Structure 1
């Protein structure tokens, strides 16, 4: 094992550079020793940095001895920053050249080290904590010929150089992370360009290292999937948002996006057509051509907010990764308040009469079992459409002499929230019209799913059923957005409140959190008690003609 140079010392916080100043020039430097953190725990990196610092310090000592001092001007600042960046890159490149092949474990260890170091520097920059660069700034000024005793930490020049050094090092570490992943970058062009002090960021560096929206989203998606943070449905929704963003803005470089970009995107979303990729009128047309058409309905405010929320999350991650400093989409969400026209309304008595007296029920004109059962189960349980569609035949069981729907989650089936996992007593009317007989048939056929004809689409098993119900209700003259399948759930809530059922019992039935300790969903008297709640669901309509016959 190689012995560390005398000017390289290790401490708990990492490696430090430490070099004694010759006695004859200590009065000029006002120090007996030059000491600074090398900002790394990796010995190979520390050795390269320390070697370079030692070389430059010894050159400084020679200049001090010969009296070759000079005043520091703006060009000197530019030169110091440029050299600092270039020499940092070269030091790391030398370390790579001398390094042997890395095992996967060693590569991952270095990757984490680079990422932690980069994140630390970015955090200091965001918090304007430039003190971390004091030692490096002192060194750069002394190597430029400024005696230590003349360096004023409160001067504008010192503070300016310190901030610029921190900004440059953030970019340098961004480059190093990319190199560590095998991305080849050409440093020559932007390293030879003069740097203007006081600019927000090094635009030449950003131009070379920035990525387009599509690549940013690919990286974001890869991390979310690796961390199991996205379900299939969430993945599909985010992919759709990214595609829409690129359609509106183009696949532009991320670093060029600012608050004005965000405002333009929001304005474009407010004109974005509903069913952009489904409406045959829009096929092969640009957005400008679509806007010129008549009777084009824009997407809903809630949909706009969904797009903005996902864009904010994506670019918040981009800020954390150092691709830009400000999130273009922060604060753009539209405050909706309580807007009656956007609310889902419950089905009233007339609505329910229209639905359950339609030919589908009067003449048994349904083609698949789910078309008969889904509206009825929704009305007499308050369950969400996805919860009903993903039921297994084995989820219909008897607990304490009460037949229940066991709403549960597994690797394939997901629920909206943790409190959604519950049992719902089966309403006596569902049993009366043949529901348990249907379940028995599915079990005898060794069917796993209660509705085997339903298949997943973009992670949702309710996709086809939702489309069917939308077409069904439109045929009955219901408004497009205010009356939907979820209206059954609102009808249940409305009825139970009318019957003055205690709020905590309503929440237990619907799978809302009650703010209390979660009980075993099979424990105590819960199924029996909730059956009494379910029996309160009497909507005052004649359904005596209903009978499942297929």
Structure 2
């Protein structure tokens, strides 16, 4: 039967009908073949020798693959912009491939077995006419490769300067597909890729000409082919993609806000590395150079109108310099160290997980010297002023606005740890009331670090002030949370509104003038009080969430009796001189 009578795509092979389906170029990497080239077509058996049946069967078979291809195309990642590294890779790849082919042809190792294997491969991937054409072209190149090389070299030289692509169109399309680049026909990006491929092949032809003249000393002259480039990450292996894995793994069980701050710092660092660099770009030198940039980086740069739209740290720093008299102050050494700590934590995890091959953490030894000033704490006189003010004394609602500071100053707990407490987190064991600081139990709780989980003994003064009575009242009301009105902000921070208002309150009542004291100072005040009670930092650490070992409990917050007996005297040692809170106590 003449081929012309068959519908497009329908092929008769030895009496059986097949549907020839062309694979979209963007998807050919998903259909590997047994050879080097990607598969261009799929042959679908229609399981019939009858033409009429084949014509009927080919429509649903074709529609099925249309649906498959559509779903696969929709699942492809977004196309990425062309970079200098891409152009280098295109040029170097074309150069190496041509050099390998030229060497193979010069060695004259083409045997009948090679030809038979090539023909078998071509028959699997192409119809008979196409296979014959490709085979003839290959035979021609084997027989006359020097002549063909000269012709192709001349054609490429003529086209490269005009940014044409007819001599390398298939190579260009394959490169764009493999790298998923945004380089449509006619665009500058596509023309640059074609030129890069041509330059790589022209450089290889130059090597061939030198070998023809007996010159084995040739060196690459084209800078695009020879220039060293940073390796580019494969899809899913980019630096920020690996950081996403670190964020999901969260090895230190950090809360959402801490993770967000770490991500901000790491993105700043990653922005200084070559585009789409691999994780191996993280070296001591690259971290050191980033720290040097941080020294001139302005505070609150992301919130400053003058820096909007600027992507690199260098651009922000330069824009800040141009502000002259309005120059924004630089971030502090303490902030830089905090950012560096975030990058260091990622590197530690990446080394342990095998993502980063380093003997030593690249951040080691790069921290800035910071004159550590002890955190400001409240004096007994200031505490008396605070707790005699209208926020606490008189007819006030005893919610988190009342209890947060008091619990902090008699336990050393963090503000967020108090705000997120559940009713069931406070219970009696071994003759003392205790608070289970944990992210377990639901309620959207979180902890700063793994060592933050702990059991804290309740101070007797908190009992006298009515804290346990409040717990019992909330339990009787069927409440889940101890402070139902306490809420998180968009960054996941508990009672941020309370923090802001409390700082203003301190200023209004004359306790503070300028930065320094805040609601967080109650925690440090408690730690100082425990030190004043004669206890060492090693004894205080497990109580305030700085323990070196993970808390071991049986059940929900149940600890051995000796643990309670060990910590109770440390908590009970918290006193504040002549501070009088009798007006806040309940009968």
Instruction: Report the TM-score when normalising by structure 2.
Output: 0.52
> Secondary structure at the residue paired with 2:199?
coil
RMSD of aligned alpha carbons: 5.6
For residue 391 of structure 2, the aligned residue among 343, 348, 360 is 360
If you compute each CA radius of gyration, which structure gives the higher value, 1 or 2?
2
* Counterpart check, 1:526 vs 2:563: yes
For residue 304 of structure 1, the aligned residue among 336, 340, 363 is 336
User: Which position in structure 2 is the counterpart of 1:237?
Assistant: 261
> Secondary structure at the residue paired with 1:404?
strand
For residue 35 of structure 2, the aligned residue among 18, 38, 48 is 48
User: Which position in structure 2 is the counterpart of 1:53?
Assistant: none
**What is the distance in 2 between the residues matched to 1:267 and 1:540?**
47
Return closer, same or farther for 1:442/1:284 CA change in 2, 3 Å cut-off: farther
CA distances 1:202-230 after superposition (whole Å, capped 9, x unpaired): 5899799789xxx9676456544565667
Q: Kindly indicate whether the alpha-carbon contact (under 8 Å) linking 2:321 and 2:327 is maintained by their aligned counterparts in 1.
A: no
1:35-114 to structure 2, matched below 5 A, reads: 47-49=34-36, 91=37, 94-95=38-39, 97=41
**What is the distance in 1 between the residues matched to 2:357 and 2:226?**
13
Residue correspondences, number? 398
For residue 459 of structure 1, the aligned residue among 492, 501, 505 is 492
**What is the distance in 2 between the residues matched to 1:464 and 1:367?**
17
For residue 426 of structure 2, the aligned residue among 380, 392, 396 is 396
* Counterpart check, 1:435 vs 2:460: no
**What is the distance in 2 between the residues matched to 1:536 and 1:483?**
23
User: Which position in structure 1 is the counterpart of 2:477?
Assistant: 445
Q: Kindly indicate whether the alpha-carbon contact (under 8 Å) linking 2:423 and 2:482 is maintained by their aligned counterparts in 1.
A: yes
Distance apart, 1:137 and its partner CA:
13
CA distances 1:374-399 after superposition (whole Å, capped 9, x unpaired): 11111100112221121112212121
User: Which position in structure 1 is the counterpart of 2:11?
Assistant: none
Q: Kindly indicate whether the alpha-carbon contact (under 8 Å) linking 1:273 and 1:296 is maintained by their aligned counterparts in 2.
A: yes
For residue 143 of structure 1, the aligned residue among 89, 101, 104 is 104
Distance apart, 1:407 and its partner CA:
1.0
Q: Kindly indicate whether the alpha-carbon contact (under 8 Å) linking 2:453 and 2:545 is maintained by their aligned counterparts in 1.
A: yes
Distance apart, 1:429 and its partner CA:
0.9
**What is the distance in 2 between the residues matched to 1:453 and 1:99?**
66
Return closer, same or farther for 1:388/1:96 CA change in 2, 3 Å cut-off: farther
CA distances 1:180-237 after superposition (whole Å, capped 9, x unpaired): 79667766442222367499995899799789xxx96764565445656675324432
**What is the distance in 2 between the residues matched to 1:281 and 1:362?**
46
Q: Kindly indicate whether the alpha-carbon contact (under 8 Å) linking 2:425 and 2:437 is maintained by their aligned counterparts in 1.
A: yes
User: Which position in structure 2 is the counterpart of 1:85?
Assistant: none
Return closer, same or farther for 1:142/1:222 CA change in 2, 3 Å cut-off: same
> Secondary structure at the residue paired with 2:561?
coil
**What is the distance in 1 between the residues matched to 2:329 and 2:439?**
37
User: Which position in structure 1 is the counterpart of 2:198?
Assistant: 192
Distance apart, 1:96 and its partner CA:
6.3
User: Which position in structure 2 is the counterpart of 1:383?
Assistant: 413
**What is the distance in 1 between the residues matched to 2:224 and 2:340?**
26
Return closer, same or farther for 1:231/1:518 CA change in 2, 3 Å cut-off: closer
> Secondary structure at the residue paired with 1:371?
helix
* Counterpart check, 1:270 vs 2:295: yes
**What is the distance in 2 between the residues matched to 1:317 and 1:46?**
38
> Secondary structure at the residue paired with 2:435?
strand
Q: Kindly indicate whether the alpha-carbon contact (under 8 Å) linking 1:427 and 1:534 is maintained by their aligned counterparts in 2.
A: yes
**What is the distance in 2 between the residues matched to 1:471 and 1:269?**
31
For residue 492 of structure 1, the aligned residue among 510, 526, 533 is 526
**What is the distance in 1 between the residues matched to 2:221 and 2:40?**
32
User: Which position in structure 2 is the counterpart of 1:80?
Assistant: none
Return closer, same or farther for 1:219/1:331 CA change in 2, 3 Å cut-off: closer
> Secondary structure at the residue paired with 1:533?
helix
Q: Which range is displaced more, 495-504 or 198-207?
A: 198-207
User: Which position in structure 2 is the counterpart of 1:425?
Assistant: 457
Structure 1 regions of 5+ residues with no counterpart? 1-41, 50-90, 112-135, 149-174
CA distances 1:115-167 after superposition (whole Å, capped 9, x unpaired): xxxxxxxxxxxxxxxxxxxxx9997795264799xxxxxxxxxxxxxxxxxxx
> Secondary structure at the residue paired with 1:406?
strand
Q: Which range is displaced more, 506-515 or 222-231?
A: 222-231
Structure 2 regions of 5+ residues with no counterpart? 1-28, 45-64, 77-96, 110-172, 184-189, 204-218, 311-315
1:24-39 to structure 2, matched below 5 A, reads: none
**What is the distance in 1 between the residues matched to 2:397 and 2:105?**
85
**What is the distance in 2 between the residues matched to 1:516 and 1:317?**
18
User: Which position in structure 2 is the counterpart of 1:18?
Assistant: none
> Secondary structure at the residue paired with 1:383?
coil
> Secondary structure at the residue paired with 1:193?
helix
CA distances 1:260-317 after superposition (whole Å, capped 9, x unpaired): 9877764554344445566899999985389545595443322223334556788999
**What is the distance in 1 between the residues matched to 2:348 and 2:429?**
47
**What is the distance in 2 between the residues matched to 1:338 and 1:300?**
9
Distance apart, 1:428 and its partner CA:
1.3
Distance apart, 1:355 and its partner CA:
3.3
**What is the distance in 2 between the residues matched to 1:274 and 1:224?**
27
Q: Kindly indicate whether the alpha-carbon contact (under 8 Å) linking 2:413 and 2:523 is maintained by their aligned counterparts in 1.
A: yes
* Counterpart check, 1:347 vs 2:353: no
